[in-house]
């Protein structure tokens, strides 16, 4: 009996990896070879700053509280802030493999709508008005894929082929963040199954620690830890049962909070 030939999983993984890179605008691609970890251990601070404008550095190195103090009163536009973090996140991914999904165009469109709302009503949508927020790939966003590091989940909804929820379903946290005025712009890397203290999968490969690219960024919210350490996001959400927020926070020198159930 003749059957449809299946695409080898390696080809599927490489195609997805390339699709992530293709989502980065050409103007934000690093053209020169990135030094090896032996030649460049720490890619935070002045190293990543070389790819940014002084204004982008000013915005992306402000903390989330200061950013919202500017965006909620109209001093900084949501679009300018969003574009700055999208640029820095794009550079971060090319340095340490920390992103699973990139939807910068949708983020800028959402930020533009927030700016229009502020101009019309002279008030913010909510307390997070214009704040870019990154999410661990475990969360669902309408129109954005969720693979959680499984090659077999590429193009499906959690492995269910033909399930239309893959393009329509959103996690409750995502809905609440939108209601508060946050701008969602990327989803970050995780270890396959999420059950690991380091972040590696067959889609993006290994996510390195930005402070020392010989070492792990932790897991399972490792992409979040690495991205925040590189200031590619001012605030992000992960999940934690056995340390999946606390471990990356510790490994990357940032603050992580695991609230009670």
Catalytic residue check, 244:
yes
Element spanning 18, H or E: helix 9-22
Q: Are 224 and 251 in contact (CB under 8 A)?
A: no
Residue of 16, 136, 187, 211 with catalytic role: 136
Residue of 134, 196, 216, 220 with catalytic role: 220
| End-to-end Cα, the chain, rounded Å | 52
Catalytic residue check, 123:
no
* Alpha carbon distance 35, 127 (integer Å): 40
Sort strands 236-237 and 132-136 into parallel, antiparallel or unpaired: parallel
Catalytic residue check, 136:
yes
User: In 53-101, where does DSSP find H-type helix?
Assistant: 54-60, 64-71, 78-96
Q: Are 253 and 229 in contact (CB under 8 A)?
A: yes
Match 């059950």 to its residue by tokens.
195
CA 226, 91, 257: angle at the middle one, nearest 5? 25
* Alpha carbon distance 208, 35 (integer Å): 14
Element spanning 205, H or E: strand 205-206
Q: Are 254 and 244 in contact (CB under 8 A)?
A: no
Active site residues: 136, 220, 244
């Amino acid at each position: 009996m003749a059957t449809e030939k299946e695409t080898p999983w390696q080809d599927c993984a490489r195609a997805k990896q390339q699709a992530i890179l293709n989502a980065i605008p050409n103007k934000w691609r690093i053209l020169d070879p990135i030094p090896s970890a032996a030649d460049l251990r720490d890619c935070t601070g002045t190293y990543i700053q070389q790819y940014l404008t002084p204004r982008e550095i000013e915005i992306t190195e402000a903390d989330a509280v200061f950013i919202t103090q500017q965006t909620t009163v109209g001093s900084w536009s949501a679009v300018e802030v969003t574009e700055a973090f999208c640029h820095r996140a794009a550079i971060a991914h090319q340095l340490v493999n920390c992103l699973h999904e990139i939807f910068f165009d949708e983020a800028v469109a959402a930020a533009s709508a927030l700016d229009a709302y502020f101009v019309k009503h002279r008030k913010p949508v909510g307390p997070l008005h214009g704040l870019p927020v990154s999410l661990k790939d475990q969360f669902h966003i309408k129109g954005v894929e969720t693979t959680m590091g499984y090659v077999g989940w590429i193009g499906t909804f959690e492995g269910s082929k033909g399930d239309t929820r893959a393009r329509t379903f959103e996690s409750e946290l995502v809905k609440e963040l939108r209601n508060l005025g946050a701008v969602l712009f990327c989803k970050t890397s995780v270890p396959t199954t999420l059950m690991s203290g380091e972040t590696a999968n067959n889609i993006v490969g290994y996510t390195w620690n930005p402070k020392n690219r010989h070492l792990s960024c932790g897991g399972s919210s490792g992409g979040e830890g690495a991205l925040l350490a590189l200031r590619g996001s001012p605030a992000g959400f992960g999940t934690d049962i056995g340390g999946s927020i606390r471990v990356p926070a510790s490994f990357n020198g940032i603050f992580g909070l695991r609230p009670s159930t």
